[in-house]
Structure 1
Amino acid sequence: MKEKLVSIDEIRNVHPVFRGRFGNILIKIAMSLTGLNKVNRIYDTSKQYEGVEFCNHLLKDVGVNIVVENSEILNQFEGQAFITVSNHAYGHIDGITAIDVVGSIRPDYKMMVNFILGMIDTMSMHFIAVNPYQSGKLANKSSLDGVKQCISHIKGGHPLGFFPAGAVSKTKIRKGKMIVRDREWQPSVIKLIKGSKVPVVPMYFSGKNSWFFNFLDLVDWRLRSLRLGHEVYNKKGKTMRVIFGEPIMPDEIAKHTDLEELGNFLKDKTYALAKDGE
């Protein structure tokens, strides 16, 4: 258990400007702008717990209401491997919710997540973390290690979760309306899913982040990324529905020989679980 999720020393190591004359002032500004101060506070209140218990306590502390539908679908795979695929509506809170919901049914459930969510050590037993921000050999090694862990986990008869978009849902303007939806589901993840030859269960998360966060995506995705910490803290009183769809069996997946077509098929199956107006 870490004292702080993101410490001042870790921020100092990010860039020399944080180690200069005005480093401490700049760190305080950075913590406030990115919402890391709020994220640290949330972590502090729940860090005495681990795994599903940590997720459950954190979600209650944040104040988000979770409504789960059709989770009994997972009961048919007791002691067996399966894969969940989900839209990435929120960026962090959906990953924590997935582990809370599926992990309460299958304690051996893991998710492939980016290294930022992977920093939460109290959830590490449910993570396979990769770093998409590395480049060159480091990126290849991180991805390869992640794929090896995923294959090993599934072969061991354990369930695994993916956000195949690999990033929080994107914002587009269509007919004068702001539409928030996943980008193309990544071929590398779809290839892994196809090769696993286990049932795939769509898991849809309702809702989206704040309008300001999604608006920033139309300006610059980097500005939006700076606001991601705030999007954990501002969910108080909001309801998120987690809906499970019917399993897609390996023989059905095998019929889709093209990875892009299979990705679109799984993505459409997931978004089909949305209610009208979502």
Structure 2
Amino acid sequence: SLLRQLSSFSNKAEATDYLLKLSNLEKRVKVKGLEKIPTGCPLLVVSNHPRGVGDGLVLLFCLQAIRPDLKFVVNQLLQEIPHFNELFITRANDRKGRNFSTIRQLLSHLDEDGCICLFPAGTVEHFDWTRLSVKESPWKMNFRKMAQKSGAALIEARISSRNSFLFHC
């Protein structure tokens, strides 16, 4: 399995290189605007989420050289990926759906001039059977308050990709 393969590497750099080669992103991704990415200051990158885990991999591929302090907000399932937990801040909701500990971790990382990537829709784009088209869930806009409170620069990334029709069935 992929998890077993990732466990065989001795560090995150080797595991990341393996994933990037496996996904062949270098040949498939066209990136514009990297020169606009600020360094040495807090940065919040928000993006649409058309495909799932691959979206995070695309952002990692694009940003890791410019922002080695990059961290992703993820669900608990992704926390189990070997060597990548240092890249993750796990979204942990209490019984009322609040995530105070996650917000504290995010603000702390931004206070240290770190970079945070998150998907404000909170879920992968889905097929809307009433409109017969792929639809993105509404973005939770609290990231704007976070950027304001921390003084972070805010950049919106757009991933132009889609899952196959069969994915949505």
What pairs with 1:182-221 in structure 2 (closer than 5 Å)? 182-214=136-168, 216=169
Query: Letter of the aligned partner of 1:165 in structure 2?
Result: A
- How many angstroms does 1:122 deviate by? 1.1
Matched, 1:123 2:47: no
Q: Select 2:114's aligned residue among 158, 166, 169.
A: 158
Q: Select 1:106's aligned residue among 52, 67, 82.
A: 67
Give 1:71's aligned residue: 34
- How many angstroms does 1:52 deviate by? 5.0
- How many angstroms does 1:173 deviate by? 4.7
Q: RMSD of the alignment, in Å?
A: 2.3
Where does the alignment leave 5 or more consecutive residues of structure 2 unmatched? none
Give 2:134's aligned residue: 180
Where does the alignment leave 5 or more consecutive residues of structure 1 unmatched? 1-40, 217-278
Aligned mates of 2:43, 2:92 — CA distance in 1 = 24
Give 1:42's aligned residue: 2
Query: Letter of the aligned partner of 2:108 in structure 1?
Result: S
Query: Letter of the aligned partner of 2:90 in structure 1?
Result: A
What pairs with 1:9-20 in structure 2 (closer than 5 Å)? none
Runs of 4+ in 1 over 4 A off after TM superposition: none
Aligned mates of 1:173, 1:190 — CA distance in 2 = 31
Contact (CA 8 Å) 2:49, 2:124: kept in 1 or not? yes
- How many angstroms does 1:152 deviate by? 0.4
Aligned mates of 1:211, 1:81 — CA distance in 2 = 38
**Secondary structure of 1:171's aligned partner:** strand
- How many angstroms does 1:185 deviate by? 0.6
Offset from partner CA, 1:24-52 (integer Å, 9 cap, x none): xxxxxxxxxxxxxxxxx223334305435
- How many angstroms does 1:63 deviate by? 4.1
- How many angstroms does 1:150 deviate by? 0.3
Contact (CA 8 Å) 2:46, 2:155: kept in 1 or not? yes
**Secondary structure of 1:166's aligned partner:** coil
Larger radius of gyration between Structure 1 and Structure 2: 1
Offset from partner CA, 1:171-218 (integer Å, 9 cap, x none): 22576xx4323211114444323433321111111111221122x3xx
Residue identity (%): 25
Aligned mates of 1:50, 1:105 — CA distance in 2 = 20
What TM-score do you get using the length of structure 1 for normalisation? Answer: 0.54
- How many angstroms does 1:160 deviate by? 1.1
Relative to total residues, which structure has the larger helix share, 1 or 2? Answer: 1
Higher relative contact order (Cα pairs below 8 Å, separated by 6+ residues) = 2
Contact (CA 8 Å) 1:164, 1:190: kept in 2 or not? no
Offset from partner CA, 1:31-89 (integer Å, 9 cap, x none): xxxxxxxxxx2233343054354233213224453332221211xx2211111110011
Aligned mates of 1:57, 1:151 — CA distance in 2 = 31
Aligned mates of 2:69, 2:145 — CA distance in 1 = 23
Aligned residues: 166
What pairs with 1:226-237 in structure 2 (closer than 5 Å)? none
Contact (CA 8 Å) 1:115, 1:130: kept in 2 or not? yes
**Secondary structure of 1:168's aligned partner:** coil
Give 1:136's aligned residue: 95
Contact (CA 8 Å) 1:114, 1:129: kept in 2 or not? yes
